[in-house]
A and B are shown apart, each in its own frame.
Chain A
Amino acid sequence: MAKASTKSARSKAKKPALPDRCDVFVAGAGYVGLATALSVARGAPDLSVVVADAAPEGVWEKDGRASAIAAAACKMLEALDCWDALVPHAQPMTEMIVTDSRTADPVRPVFLTFDGDVAPGEPFAHMLPNVEMNRILRQRCAEAGVTIVQGAGVTGFERDGALTRIMAGDDTIVEARLLIACDGVRSRLRDMAGIRTVHWDYGQSGIVATIAHERPHEGRAEEHFLPAGPFAILPLTGNRSSIVWTESTENAERLLKADPFTFEMELEQRFGLKLGELTVEDGPRAYPLGLTLARDFVAERFALAGDAAHGIHPIAGQGLNLGFKDAAALAETVVEAHRLGQDIGALDVLERYQRWRRFDTVQMGVTTDVLNRLFSNDLAPVRAVRDLGLGLVDRMPQLKSFFIRQAAGLAGPAPRLLRGDPI
């Protein structure tokens, strides 16, 4: 299993904030870790839940990124009493335009318009700043009795019968019944648990930035399939948008190193000028893109959730939504088992979560992989086929509604929280 913790004495004095024992120990205080912890704590108030984050205090407040929240994830935030506080920061997306064209084409043909709501009055997605989501999740966690400790990265853990002994922070030892790793796509806990991954590197990077523009976007999201890969414009509150711009890693690095003028020139060429003059408000930052799927999502007293279980291509904007689905399914599994008096860390209990989530995840991973391969090239025959494909989708209401439901994250057997119900 994991690195042995041979330190004999428990050093309580160094990290008084970490308890000696808890029921559920969540490693990683991103939105998946926080949502999982909150859902468990609300579903089973008699379980003690700890969230330990490797980053020092205050780092989370510096996250300038925004995320697309599909309708199902939005329902979950409602069920967790977080949504009302997020409404002022949320930009509804009511329309999505998907086009395919060469960068230099002056007017891009519009092939696929995902306009219209999933249900009347319900936008298919919202854009939310990560920092606001994190803030309200932390607040609700604190209200639900969840202990959040910063600067407490997990350095090792070992299973011992009905417990797992976790070393975190400055060699503090915490005994927990279940360890949940939400420590991101390059999860160290996943490696410590000996869980291997399937990985493809796309040789591409996603450039992320917040752009201010002169004219309003009117809630319209755009995804342009450019030869280097998808270029997405996602509306934020006010006259601002978030961009996710795919380039080869080499070009991305070059763009980030270039002077601001060159970057804005390149940006304008892709963004277009219909929203007026553009200013870079936050970023740009580049993230290497790849597909990483964990071979197992669970082991005895151990579970992976979010990017630690699956890092997928951002082409369909589904990373966060898959993460929320994990959080909802894992919390429901743990709470249900607890209400039946079962051992919440037992392998047969955790395997219910794995069965529930893995098929959906692999399907989404493969779909986004195929989409990316199909759209990230400039061969004329491939362009013709995919243009025809997008055109056909637009003309067939049933197929289109299938895609829009997928984009809204409503397809498949949904955990209760994603339907907006408590566990």
Chain B
Amino acid sequence: MSDSATTIDQAEVDRFSRLAAEWWNPKGKFKPLHKFNPVRLTYIRDTVCAHFGRDPNAPKPFEGLRLLDIGCGGGLLSEPMSRLGADVVGADASETNIEVAKIHADQSGVDVDYRATTSEALEAAGETFDIVLNMEVVEHVADVDLFMKSCAAMVRPGGLMFVATINRTTKAWGLAIVGAEYVLGWLPRGTHQYEKLVKPSEIDAALSGTGVEVFDRSGVFYNVLADEWRLSRDMDVNYMVVARRGA
């Protein structure tokens, strides 16, 4: 790991590296992410298709779009994006995650360009994308403002950036930390720290002056009876936003 990486919190990277082998087990420690995948995939697919004028029911609707999955972990989003036809770069600061992701993509016959790198390094290399996915990452980085600005810089004119995270509210503390980590045991304790959670207004603030502007927001809520995540107007706990750069 390079010492110059400024947005990386080493303690966070180490914790996820230990968990990396668990990534692709839908019954394992990342079960909540597997459960969460359909709702965020649907949101991404439908927003991208509406924005770029694609048919969501056609084969490979993301054909020709270059996509960055920043903080890709084991590749839970990168693989579906590649199957949808996108040209995918999956980036993660953890070498272990990238190794796990590469092995799995190879087994699945899915083509993803996985790189153990950071958003700043990609930005410095002059990489640009039609779509930047920034999902369940901002609450784990050391400097939200710097991270968001480097991601925004890579969004091409007319391109999109998705951000999903957890709000910093009392309700989020109760549900996403106490509930999910301590009561239900869905997530390992210490996965999320309250003070690192990010408010929607802080996303807007971090993006100010970047030319990338939020145009849609949605809450995501867990429906206990259906045992699935659904879109909701309530952004107090989990939420997703999508921003665009003018063409």
Contacts and interface: CB of A to CB of B under 8 A. Distances in A.
A45 B56 CA distance: 14
A338 B80 CA distance: 9
Interface stretch (A79-87, A320-328, A341-349): A341-349
Interface in A139-184: 161-162
Interface in B82-140: 82-84, 107-109
B5 interface: no
B34 to A, nearest CB: 5
Interface string B40-62: 01100100000000001101100
Interface in A328-375: 338-343, 346-348, 352, 355
A341 B59 contact: no
Contact of B37 (A44, A46, A161, A342): A342
Nearest to B109: A162
B81 interface: yes
Contacts of B34: 348
A343 B59 contact: no
B199 interface: no
B38 interface: yes
Contact of B108 (A44, A162, A338): A162
A46 B57 CA distance: 11
Nearest to A160: B107
Contacts of B59: 44-46
B109 A341 contact: no
Interface in A290-343: 338-343
Contacts of A339: 45, 56-57
Nearest to B103: A161
Contacts of A355: 227
Interface in B27-43: 27, 34-35, 37-38, 41-42
A85 B108 CA distance: 41
Contacts of A46: 59-60
B45 to A, nearest CB: 6
B79 A340 contact: no
Given A348-B34, A355-B227, A341 B79 contact: yes
A340 B37 CA distance: 9
B193 to A, nearest CB: 28
Contacts of B27: 347
B108 A343 contact: yes
B79 A161 contact: no
Contacts of B107: 161-162
B48 to A, nearest CB: 11
Contacts of A347: 26-27
Interface in A195-225: none
Interface string A41-67: 000111000000000000000000000
Interface of B: 26-27, 34-35, 37-38, 41-42, 45, 56-57, 59-60, 79-84, 107-109, 227
Interface of A: 44-46, 161-162, 338-343, 346-348, 352, 355
5 contacts: A46-B59, A339-B45, A340-B84, A343-B108, A355-B227
